[in-house]
Amino acid sequence: MDISVVIPLFNEAESLPELEAWIKRVMLSEGYSYEIIMVDDGSTDASWEVIKGLSAANPLVHGIRFRRNYGKSAALYCGFDKAQGDVVITMDADLQDSPDEIPGLYKKITEEGYDVVSGWKQHRQDNKLTKNLPSKLFNATARRVTGIKLHDMNCGLKAYSREVVKNIEVYGEMHRYIPYLAKNAGFSKIGEQKVHHQKRKYGKSKFGMNRFVNGFLDLMSIWFLSTFGKKPMYFFGYSGLFMFLVGFVMVIVIIVTKLVRQGNGVYYRPVTDQPLFYLALVAVILGVMFFLAGFVGEMISRNSGERNHYNIKEEF
């Protein structure tokens, strides 16, 4: 099979028939073999009934229904697990992503050898204040932290080789960082393609402003796990050593100052009356705590079932 189209959705009953017809039209015109996997993330409207109707009319439409709303990452994870196509395309169900972009994305994977191709909504049809500006700040931060030079990492319209989606685990709210997950799994050829972005035709956005705060926290989490997940002592050990040295230097400063002043007959307050003494004490305690956290992390890591899990590209 050439293409699997994975569509996570939540309360998008009105847009689904139009989206399915549009995808079908593109696939037939290009001669692709395909499947459409619609993942209903606990919708409370008639989305599931619409999916069942579409599947009855077109056997290439498959559906997955959650009992409750788990989030986009869970929907993508289950969709990826079911996908059988050589290339997996993801898109949102609100008709803002154009299926006409599928052939271009498919060719970048199959002909140009990319592992991941992310859409770039260069001209967004969203509110400039509530979405465009926060999106620019989010993407600038993501580029800095991940080292992946994508203009729109959070774009729902993406293409993946089948090998990528079968070797990454999307969980929590990590759907924003799938290119970074792919990079950490060893898939280094990641590119982007400008795509057309349309105004929402039905309903309203399901995402609020809190997604940007959550996105930043998730970015910090995935950076830490990818950098120190298998060697936590490196992070906590260096942090502990730094704090311990800071405390040690403060103690030396206090002692030397006291001895110099006493030698010159100058009054000097008792050490325990010095604010610097308590700062030094706190720094030393924090240093010890960081070391202990590092040791505990190392013990957990060494006993983890994932400690020797590696993605092998080829084997003879």
pLDDT digits (tens, 9 = 90+) for 113-155: 999 999 998 766 555 555 566 677 777 877 887 888 888 888 8
Q: Where on the phi/psi map is residue 265: left (φ > 0), alpha (ψ -120 to 50), or beta?
A: left
Do 138 and 196 lie in a common domain? yes
Mean pLDDT by runs of 10 across the 316 residues of the chain is 96 95 97 96 94 96 93 92 96 93 96 95 62 72 83 90 93 84 90 85 61 68 69 81 89 84 77 81 88 77 52 42
Do 275 and 200 lie in a common domain? no
Do 89 and 56 lie in a common domain? yes
Do 178 and 71 lie in a common domain? yes
φ, ψ for residue 163, nearest 5 deg = -60, -35
Domain boundary among 228, 253, 282: 228
Do 293 and 164 lie in a common domain? no
Do 222 and 253 lie in a common domain? no
- Joined together, the tokens standing for residue 92 give 């949102």
CATH at residue 112? 3.90.550.10
Do 195 and 298 lie in a common domain? no
In a domain, residue 208? The reply is: yes
In a domain, residue 311? The reply is: no
Q: Report yes or no on whether pTM surpasses 0.85.
A: no
Domain boundary among 228, 250, 268: 228
Alpha-carbon span 236 to 242, nearest angstrom: 10
Do 196 and 171 lie in a common domain? yes
Do 210 and 265 lie in a common domain? no
CB atoms < 10 A from the CB of 187, how many? Answer: 21
What is the DSSP-derived secondary structure letter of residue 122? S
Domain boundary among 200, 228, 256: 228
Number of domains in the chain: 2
**Helix 210-228 and helix 133-146: axis angle, to 10°?**
0
Q: Which domain holds residue 197?
A: 3-228
